[in-house]
Every structure is written in structure tokens, then in C-alpha cells.
């Protein structure tokens, strides 16, 4: 397993470079213009000058190379400088966003806390709720609990966040006035009061997101449990006189985790990627909102950097999932 992990990690480097090239070409090829949001009152000659100032006049391969150097060589230096107070990166040009003319990574670092707070919490909440629901629904298939769980999760999944988000805002912010409708990203949690405030503003986005994730996870958990509950080894385990709890929670659960692990592993990069629509609805200015804003403004360095970070996370977590398969089911061998 260790050699497998190392081999995969080494292979990840060319994979990621290739992915970054594909993303770059895709963005290059997509129609769009960083000047699209500049008002029509600015004449085309001026827009052309502004484009040149952004470095758009240079050929594609030079811009790609520049990005590679900036991202893989200069940005790590900035990080080292930040931690050790050195000055390797001084005077070197970092990845600069076209919208803000400031380093992309600074903005990303600024946005990550919001996304982790909201989307991360939603994920944790969803996993905590979804797994028991999935397990119990499968164990008592077609009981009223299972039927209710199915109904709620399917309805929850089929209602898009642009609707459920606005619905909870209208109910809890406008009608009842319990929670703020706009997330305050300047809030600093340093006391009990501010913590309560943070909780209040998080409840609605977390609720909306967790509903979606719970629905998805609990369905996979249930289906996978159902597959395993009728297997021969379960009968054997029961025949051995193991308690029902041990049979279900140890033997069946462990064998049912593979699809669930896959779904969770696919979901973790999405936490960092943020939930675009939910963030937009609740004005949680996290990574998702940053990405959609950058795409709309055709801020290519920003989009490129963000998608590349997601790509790294995707490759990494899919690798972790593969390793976990081997632990959950030792029969799975990669080498």
C-alpha cells in the first residue's frame, strides 16, 4: 500500500501539470473578455489599452509559463517569507488577479475561513445526520422511518438551493426576524456574544447545504447497507452468535462504506470549492462566490489558480479514498 501511495503521489505531478494546461487552454478558448463588465461608456480603444496593461497581448505559451513560474516558484517563496520572515520573494511578480490587481493567493487566504466555517460545518453536520439515517433506514427497510427519510431526502435533494435558500430567508429573516439575511464577513469571533452571532448567521446556509448533502449521503449509505445485509457473511456472523449491534455496526457497516467513502472524498474538495449558489444567496463571500465572480469577470489568473487548487485537492482526496478502500476491504490490492 505504501509503494502504491508513493507511486500515485509521484504520478500526480505530471497529471496535475497536464490538468493545469487543459484548464488554461479551456479558459483561453472560452469566449469572454476581462473588460466585459467595464461600462459601455468606456470606448474600445481604452479597453484595448487596459487589456494590454493586463498582459493579454502576450502569446499563450508565454502566459502559461509565467503562471507556472509564479504559482510553483514564487508563491511558495511568499509562503516561506511569511512564516520565517525571510525575503526570497521580494520584488518578484506574484499571480495577480485582473479584477483587483492584487495577489490571488492573498484573496484566497482571506476567503477560506468563511467557506470552511459554513460549507465545512454543513458537511460535518450532514455526515453526522446522514450515516445513522442511512444505516437505520436500511436495517428497517420500508418501515415508517425509512419512508419518511426517503421522502424528506428526495424532496430535499430536488429543491435547488436558489429556491430553498430564499425560502428560509423569507421565513426566518423577513417574517420571523430570527436570523440575519446577509452574512457578516467582518465579524470576529472573540467572545460568547460574537460566537452566538456567528452561529445565528451560519444556521440558514448550513441548514440549506446540509439538507442537500444529507440527502445524497444517506441514499448511498442506505443502498449500500441493503446490498450487504443479505450477504452470506451476515448470516454467518449472526449464526456465530454475535450481537446484532456488532453484526450491523461492525461487519455490515465496514463493508458498506466503500461508496460512502467515495462520495465523501468527492465532497471534500467541494468544501474548499465552496457552494456557489448557497454562498451567493446568503452573501457568504467565500471561495465559491470568488470563483463565480472571477468567471463572470473573466479574471483568468484567478479562475486558473482556484481551479488548479481544486484539482490538487481532487487528486489528493481521490488518492486518500483509494487508500481507504484497501483498509476497509483488505482484498482490494493495487499492486
Partner 1 sequence: MTELSKTQTTLNQPEPTKPPRSQWLDVWDQFKTHKGAMMGGILFILIVAGVYLGPFIWDIDATQIDIRSRNQGPSWAHPFGTDQLGRDLLARMMAGGATSVSVGITAMLLALFLGSFIGVLAGFFKRLDGPLMRLTDLFLALPLLPLLLVMMLLFREPLNAAFGLEQGIFILIVSAIGITSWMPTARIVRGDVLALKEREFVLAARSIGTTNSKLITRHILPNVLSPIMVSATLGIATAIITESALSFLGLGFPPDFPTWGRLLFDGVDYLQQYPERVIWPGLAISLTVLSVNYLGDGLRDALDPRIRGR
Partner 2 sequence: MKVKALLLGAIASTAMAPMAMAERGSDGNVNIIYWQAPSILNPFLSGGTKDGDASAIILEPLARYNQDGELVPFLTTEIPTVSNGGVSEDLTQITWKIAPGIKWSDGSAFTSADVKFTADYCMHPEGGCAQLTKFDGVQSVETPDDMTVVVTFDKPTPFPYGPFVGGESPILQKAQFENCMGAKAPECTAENFGPIGTGPFVVTEFKPNDVITYAANENYRDPNKPAFATVTFKGGGDATAAGRAVMETGEFDYAWNLQLAPEVIAQMQEGGKGTPIAGFGPLVERIMLNQTNPSPDLPEGERSTAKHPHPFLQDPAVYKAMSLAIDRPLLVEIGYGQAGAVTCNWVPAPAAVNSTTFSCDTQDIAGANKLLDDAGIVDTNGDGVREKDGVPLKVVYQTSTNAVRQDFQALIKEWWSQIGIETELRNINASVFFGGDPGSPDTFQKFYADVEMYANTFNGTDPQSYLGNGICDKAPRPETQWQGENISRFCNEEFDALHAELTQTADADKRAEIARRLNDIMVENGGMIPLVHRGRLSAHANTLGGVVLNVWDSEMWNIADWHRKTGS
CB of 157 to partner 2, least distance (A): 23
Interacting residues with partner 2 between 150 and 169 (CB under 8 A): 166, 169
Chain centroid to CA 261: 15
CB nearer to partner 2: pick between 148 and 182: 182
**Residue 332 partner contact from partner 1, partner 2, none using kind-dependent CB cut-offs of 5 to 8 Å:** partner 1
Radius of gyration of the chain (CA): 24
- Residues 260 and 221 sit within 8 Å (Cβ to Cβ): yes
**Options 15, 37, 147, 243; binder of partner 2; rule CB under 8 A:** 37
Residues lying near partner 1 in the complex (CB under 8 A) are found at 11, 15, 18-19, 22-23, 26-27, 29-32, 142, 147, 150-151, 154-155, 157-160, 162-163, 166-167, 170, 174, 215-216, 219-220, 223-224, 226-227, 230, 255, 258-259, 261-263, 265-266, 269, 277, 291-292, 295, 303, 307-308, 310-311, 314-315, 318, 321, 325, 329, 331-334
CB of 161 to partner 2, least distance (A): 13
- Residues 161 and 175 sit within 8 Å (Cβ to Cβ): no
Q: Residue 264 and residue 88: Cα distance in Å, rounded?
A: 39
CB of 190 to partner 1, least distance (A): 36
Q: Residue 114 and residue 291: Cα distance in Å, rounded?
A: 14
Q: How many CB atoms lie within 10 A of CB 273?
A: 21
**Residue 307 partner contact from partner 1, partner 2, none using kind-dependent CB cut-offs of 5 to 8 Å:** partner 1
CB of 204 to partner 2, least distance (A): 12
CA distances in angstroms from 12 to 7, 319, 321, listed in the order given: 9, 9, 15
CA distances in angstroms from 54 to 45, 100, 167, 215, listed in the order given: 15, 11, 41, 44
With contacts defined by CB under 8 A, name the span among 43-51, 81-89, 228-236, 257-265 that binds partner 2: 43-51
Q: Torsions phi, psi of 121, nearest 5? A: -60, -45
- Residues 186 and 284 sit within 8 Å (Cβ to Cβ): no
CB of 133 to partner 1, least distance (A): 14
CB nearer to partner 2: pick between 103 and 156: 103
Interacting residues with partner 2 between 99 and 128 (CB under 8 A): 99-103, 106-107, 110-111
Interacting residues with partner 2 between 295 and 334 (CB under 8 A): 295-298
Is position 223 an interface residue for partner 2 (rule: CB under 8 A)? no
Q: Residue 75 and residue 88: Cα distance in Å, rounded?
A: 10
**Residue 325 partner contact from partner 2, partner 1, none using kind-dependent CB cut-offs of 5 to 8 Å:** partner 1
CB of 189 to partner 1, least distance (A): 32
Q: How many CB atoms lie within 10 A of CB 289?
A: 22
Q: Residue 304 and residue 34: Cα distance in Å, rounded?
A: 14
Buried b (16+ CB within 10 A) or exposed e, 35-47: beeeeeeeeeeeb
Count H helices, E strands: the chain? 15, 0
Question: Which residues of the shown chain bind partner 2 in the complex (CB under 8 A)?
Answer: 31-33, 35-54, 93, 96-97, 99-103, 106-107, 110-111, 166, 169, 173-174, 177, 180-182, 185-186, 280-281, 283, 285, 289-290, 293, 295-298
Amino acid at each position: 500500500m505504501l509503494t502504491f501511495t508513493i507511486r500515485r503521489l509521484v504520478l500526480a505531478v505530471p497529471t496535475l501539470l497536464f490538468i493545469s494546461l487543459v484548464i488554461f487552454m479551456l479558459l483561453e478558448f472560452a469566449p469572454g473578455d476581462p473588460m466585459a463588465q467595464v461600462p459601455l461608456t468606456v470606448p474600445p480603444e481604452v479597453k484595448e489599452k487596459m487589456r494590454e496593461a493586463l498582459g493579454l497581448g502576450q502569446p499563450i505559451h508565454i502566459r502559461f509559463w509565467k503562471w507556472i513560474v509564479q504559482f510553483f516558484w514564487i508563491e511558495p517563496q511568499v509562503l516561506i517569507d511569511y512564516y520565517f520572515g525571510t525575503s526570497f520573494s521580494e520584488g518578484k511578480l506574484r499571480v495577480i488577479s485582473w479584477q483587483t490587481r492584487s495577489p490571488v493567493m492573498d484573496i484566497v487566504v482571506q476567503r477560506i475561513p468563511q467557506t470552511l466555517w459554513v460549507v465545512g460545518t454543513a458537511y460535518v453536520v450532514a455526515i453526522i445526520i446522514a450515516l445513522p439515517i442511512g444505516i437505520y433506514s436500511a436495517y428497517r427497510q420500508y418501515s415508517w422511518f425509512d419512508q419518511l427519510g426517503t421522502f424528506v431526502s428526495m424532496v430535499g435533494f430536488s429543491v435547488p438551493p436558489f429556491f430553498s435558500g430564499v425560502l428560509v430567508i423569507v421565513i426566518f429573516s423577513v417574517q420571523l426576524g430570527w436570523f440575519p439575511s446577509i452574512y457578516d464577513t467582518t465579524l470576529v469571533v472573540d467572545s460568547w456574544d460574537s460566537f452566538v452571532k456567528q452561529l445565528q448567521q451560519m444556521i440558514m446556509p448550513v441548514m440549506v447545504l446540509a439538507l442537500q448533502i444529507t440527502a445524497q449521503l444517506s441514499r448511498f449509505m442506505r443502498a449500500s447497507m441493503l446490498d450487504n445485509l443479505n450477504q452470506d457473511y451476515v448470516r454467518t456472523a449472526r449464526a456465530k452468535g454475535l450481537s446484532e449491534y456488532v453484526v450491523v455496526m461492525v461487519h455490515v457497516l465496514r463493508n458498506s462504506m466503500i461508496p460512502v467513502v467515495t462520495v465523501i472524498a468527492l465532497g471534500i474538495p467541494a468544501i474548499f470549492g465552496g457552494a456557489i449558489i448557497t454562498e451567493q444567496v446568503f452573501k457568504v463571500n467565500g471561495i465559491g462566490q470568488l470563483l463565480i465572480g472571477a468567471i463572470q469577470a473573466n479574471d483568468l489568473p484567478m479562475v486558473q489558480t482556484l481551479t488548479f487548487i481544486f484539482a490538487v485537492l481532487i487528486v489528493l482526496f481521490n488518492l486518500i479514498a483509494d487508500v481507504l478502500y484497501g483498509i476497509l476491504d483488505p482484498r482490494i490490492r493495487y499492486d
